[in-house]
Amino acid sequence: MIRPIINNVSVDCVIFGFDNTSLNVLLTKRELTDPESGEILLQDYTMQGHHVLEDENLDDAAKRVLKDKTGLENIFLKQFHTFGDTDRLLKEKDQLWIKTKFPMVLNHVITVAYYSLVDSAKIKPDQQHLDTKWFPVNELPALGFDHERIIMMALDYLRDEIRREPIGFELLPEKFTLTQLQNLYEVILNTSLDRRNFRKKVAHMKYVIPLDEKQKGVAHKPAQVFIFSRDVYDRTKKEKLDFSI
Amino acid sequence: MIRPIINNVSVDCVIFGFDNTSLNVLLTKRELTDPESGEILLQDYTMQGHHVLEDENLDDAAKRVLKDKTGLENIFLKQFHTFGDTDRLLKEKDQLWIKTKFPMVLNHVITVAYYSLVDSAKIKPDQQHLDTKWFPVNELPALGFDHERIIMMALDYLRDEIRREPIGFELLPEKFTLTQLQNLYEVILNTSLDRRNFRKKVAHMKYVIPLDEKQKGVAHKPAQVFIFSRDVYDRTKKEKLDFSI
């Protein structure tokens, strides 16, 4: 059964992954070549997105895009902003792309943007589309449409959220070391944290549980591994009523 | 010149106002009567909203709605979430309303929701549409569509934001007393704050400036008045790099 699309509304997903040294975004290559000369007319990257279907809720559209592009289900996904500037598809290269590939698309498309957090090791090469790859957020390639703006805003939301909610764990493997956890915070917040203070802080987090188990596959001094429990977090968090402005 | 609308995308504004005792939302009455019998078929309230125009940015659509409904410009306005469930217009009373009044409207309309903060004294009766009035957020009337859900989510965002950014001042007159400011925080956060601690905290806020001036129009013991300076806030705020999870 063909499910018709809403041709002026889309969802886009900023998929963040962490590889222990950088925070990355999953992007898909966009390329146009001249059918006669073979000359490359356009080559850049875009995020994963698609039009919303007529009988589809927004969140379901975002989940569908994620599953199509990464094979993953039930991963962290949060709507953060909707972009609808009238000029967002009007750059010359974007118009060339649309007119060649998607002549039915309108010039004013409103996109509901989500960001997603994944353990990048979970996206195995064979699950990736051929031209999809990770880029560090601070070394983005040329991007289509307003996708650079969308990614930068997603990063602002992520930085804000990670200071208040334990969402960083979504970017780590199930079992992680404290060094990995510290790296994650340092990379996302773009700062360096004192190792001793960091460990003291984590020791007070009842929801970061040490296991009687060490890291595997490392040559020297394997470190202790930990798991994060959302159950424990939800049941022990204190409502902060105070305002900190 | 008629500017055509995008018939499946709208903006809705949750307009919050504060009257020193409660946090209120501005709502407009929606009523349908049977043209023959005069019987009331439908009576409830909705937020202020309208379709986005084809040549209009989303933020401009929200500003236009605010200006049309309140006469106000340049007031605090923030996009917080987009609602696009396929069933959001399908309740029987909403279908009756749409089919009677707006037969061109589709069944799947995506609405980009904003919240706005105003000093409610600024909305004078003559600027209000006849059937527009303030309701306390904890005593909302029957509402159309998914507007109750939208208002409740706006309230969550407001409560979250007011603990981190000095946006509460938008709800107060330019000159306010510390009692007014404390009331505001108590009402929005739904808690009571210790008066001495509150004043100590405010004394550390360089951007809350005491004036050599007292309240006017009160019978006894007029209190000192203060102003909020965003300029001072922006130039003195400290980046909180630490995470508090």
For residues A10-36, b (16+ Cβ closer than 10 Å) or e, as one string? Answer: bbbbbbbbbebeebbbbbbebebeeee
Contacting residues of A for B205, CB less than 8 Å apart: 245
pLDDT per residue as tens digits for the range B101-124: 888 778 899 999 999 999 888 886
Are the beta carbons of B162 and A243 separated by less than 8 Å? yes
Q: Which of B15, B151, B28 is nearest to B97 (CA)?
A: B28
Candidates A83, A84, A163; nearest CB to B244: A163
Contacting residues of A for B8, CB less than 8 Å apart: 6, 8-9
Q: How distant is the alpha carbon of residue A104 from its chain centre?
A: 28
**Residue ranges, CATH 3.90.79.10, chain A:** 5-162
Pick the CATH number of A5-162 from 3.40.718.10, 3.90.79.10, 2.60.120.650, 3.40.190.180: 3.90.79.10
CATH code for the structural domain at A173-236: 1.10.10.10
In chain A, the percentage of residues whose pLDDT exceeds 90 is 73
| Banded pLDDT at B225 (limits 50, 70, 90) | very high
| Banded pLDDT at B156 (limits 50, 70, 90) | very high
Tell me which range, A129-133, B182-186, B218-222, is most confidently predicted by mean pLDDT: B182-186
Note which residues in 10-49 of chain A have CB less than 8 A from chain B: none
Q: Is the pLDDT of residue A242 over 90?
A: no
Instruction: Tell me which residue has tokens 């904003």.
Output: B114
A-B C-beta contacts closer than 8 Å:
90
Residue B91 has φ and ψ, to the nearest 5°, of: -60, 150
Instruction: Tell me which residue has tokens 């957090």.
Output: A117
Question: How do strand A132-136 and strand A23-33 relate by DSSP bridges?
Answer: antiparallel
Amino acid at B40: I
Instruction: Tell me which residue has tokens 């307009």.
Output: B15
Tell me which range, A65-69, A132-136, B82-86, is most confidently predicted by mean pLDDT: B82-86
pLDDT at residue B239, as a whole number:
64
Are the beta carbons of B58 and A82 separated by less than 8 Å? yes
Q: Per-residue pLDDT averaged across A204-222, rounded?
A: 89
Confirm or reject contact between A57 and chain B (CB < 8 A): yes
Q: Partners of A31 in the beta sheet?
A: A43
Whether A140 and A154 have beta carbons less than 8 Å apart is answered as: no
pLDDT per residue as tens digits for the range B21-46: 899 999 999 999 998 999 999 999 99
**Residue ranges, CATH 1.10.10.10, chain B:** 174-236
Quote the CA–CA distance of B14 and B24 in Å, as a whole number. Answer: 10
Candidates B81, B110, B242; nearest CB to A9: B110
pTM over 0.90: yes
Domain boundaries B174-236, CATH class? mainly alpha
Contacting residues of A for B11, CB less than 8 Å apart: none
pLDDT per residue as tens digits for the range A148-160: 999 999 999 999 9
Residue A48 has φ and ψ, to the nearest 5°, of: -85, 125
pLDDT at residue A220, as a whole number:
82
Among B11, B197, B245, pick the best mutation site for testing chain A contact (most A Cβ within 10 A).
Answer: B245
**Residue ranges, CATH 1.10.10.10, chain A:** 173-236
Are the beta carbons of B245 and A8 separated by less than 8 Å? no
Interior CA angle at B49 toward A8 and B58, to 5°? 45
